[in-house]
Amino acid sequence: MGKALLISGHGKNYNGTYDPGACSIFGQEAAYTRELVSMVSQSLGKAAGVEVYDQEKNCYSYSKAGQAPDYGGYDLVLEVHFNAKAKKDESGDGKFTGIGAYVHPDNVGGWAIAERIVDAVVSLGFGKWQISSSTGLLNLNKAQKAGTKYLLLETAFIDDGDDMRWYNANKTVVAQTIAQVISKEIGGITSDVAPTPPENSQAPGSSQVGTDKGYVPGMYKVHVKDLNIRTGPGTGNKIVGSITDQGTYTIVEMSGSWGRLKSGAGWINCSTKYCIRTGDANADGSGAEPEDHTKAFEVRVKINDLNIRKGPGTSYDKNGICPPGVYNIVETKAAGGYTWGRLKSGAGWIALEHTVRV
C-alpha cells in the first residue's frame, strides 16, 4: 500500500498572518481548498495510507521557512487550489473555464495522475482548462527533488460564475471522483463512497440505481439535449418520455442518482453527466416544472449590476441594467447554463439565478 499526502492551499502563514488566496463573491480560496480536502479525505475513509497536512497552516509559507513536509515519505502529494482569472467573470458568460493542474515537466507519474483526475471531473460535465508544466512552484520542486509524484490541482476558477455555480452544486461527487483516482493510485484503498455511474454505463436491462449520498431532492437543470424519463429509478424501467428543453425541474425523491419528477411524469437520472443541481425547491416543493414555463411570477433582484439581455442567453446584446426591486416574469427559457426570465415590461431577459422568487 502506498502513501498519499493531501495539502490545502493557502491559510495561516508561518509569521502568523493569513493568506486567503484568490477571492470573489463566492468566497475565499483557502476556505474552499480546506473543504474539498476534507471531503476527499472523508470519502477515502480511515485509510492508513492517506494523510492531511495541518489545515491550520499554509504549506507554502511553512516550506519556505524550512518546515516542509517530508515529501520523500509519500508516493503521491496532491495540493488543492482554486484558480483565478486575469479579468473576473463572476456573473458568468455561459462557458466554463474549468479544472486543470500544474506538474513538473519531468514528473511523469504526476502527469498521469493529473490527467486521470482532470479527465474524470470533466466527464461529470465540467470544463477542462489545461495541465501545465511548471518549475517555479516551491512545493512542486521539493516533491520533485524527493522523487515523489506531485500535482497542484486548480479545481475551478473561483471568480468564474459558471465554474463556481457548477462546482458548488456538484462538489460532493467531485470529491468522490478525486478520492477514487487516489485510491487506485496508491493501492489497497477503496473509497467509502464511489461516484454513481451515469445511466449509459449500466448494462442494458439493469435496474441498478447507485448509492451516491451526494444526490438529494431539489432543483435540477438538464444539460443534455435528450434525457429519458422512466417509470422507475433504473435503466431496467420502461421509458415513458424524454426531456428535450434543457430546462430546470423539481425532484421530490431520490434513489441513488435517480430523481422522481414533481410533475409525476416519472424518474430521470440526475447524475452530473446529465443534470446540474441548482438549489433547493421552494418550501412547498414547487419549482420550474415544464408547466410553469409560461406562467407569470415575481422575482426579487438584490444585486446592483444584473444585465438585461435582448434574448434568453449571454450571446444576446445587453439592453441595460435591472436595478434591485421586484419584477414580473412572464416566460422562462434555459440557455447557456442559466434559466432566463422575460420581463413583463418588455425590457428583455434576465438570468434568474441572480434573483429570488417572491
- Weakest mean pLDDT among 33-42, 139-148, 283-292, 349-358: 283-292
Per-residue pLDDT at 224: 79
Mean pLDDT value of segment 17-39: 95
Same fold, 199-290 and 293-357: yes
Reported as a pLDDT band with limits 50, 70 and 90, residue 304 is confident
Residue 328 scores a pLDDT above 90: no
Chain-wide mean pLDDT for the chain?
83
Quick one: CATH architecture of 4-186? 3-Layer(aba) Sandwich (3.40)
What is the C-alpha R_g of the chain?
22
CA-to-CA distance for 76 and 2, rounded, in angstroms? Answer: 8
Domain extent listing, the chain:
4-186, 199-290, 293-357
Residue 201: per-residue pLDDT: 34
CATH of domain 293-357: 2.30.30
The pLDDT, as a whole number, for residue 335 is 66
Q: Tell how strand 318-322 and strand 306-309 pair up.
A: antiparallel
Range 181-197 average pLDDT: 60
pTM for the whole structure = 0.56
Confidence (pLDDT) at 284: 44
Q: How far apart are CA 332 and CA 298, in angstroms?
A: 12
- How does pLDDT run across 224-233, given as a tens digit for each residue? 788 888 888 8
What are the backbone angles phi and psi of residue 114, rounded to the nearest 5°?
A: -60, -45
Does domain 199-290 sit in CATH 2.40.30.10?
no
Exposure b/e, 140-166, CB count within 10 A at least 16 = b: bbbbbebebbbbbbbbbbbbbbbbbbb
* 56 or 354, higher pLDDT: 56
**Rounded distance between C-alpha atoms, residue 277 and residue 271, angstroms:** 9
Task: Give strand ranges (E) for 187-247.
Answer: 218-222, 227-230, 239-243
User: Does position 357 have pLDDT exceeding 80, yes or no?
Assistant: no
pLDDT score of 232 = 87
pLDDT band at 46 (very low <50, low <70, confident <90, very high): low
User: If you average pLDDT over residues 293-311, what whole number do you get?
Assistant: 78
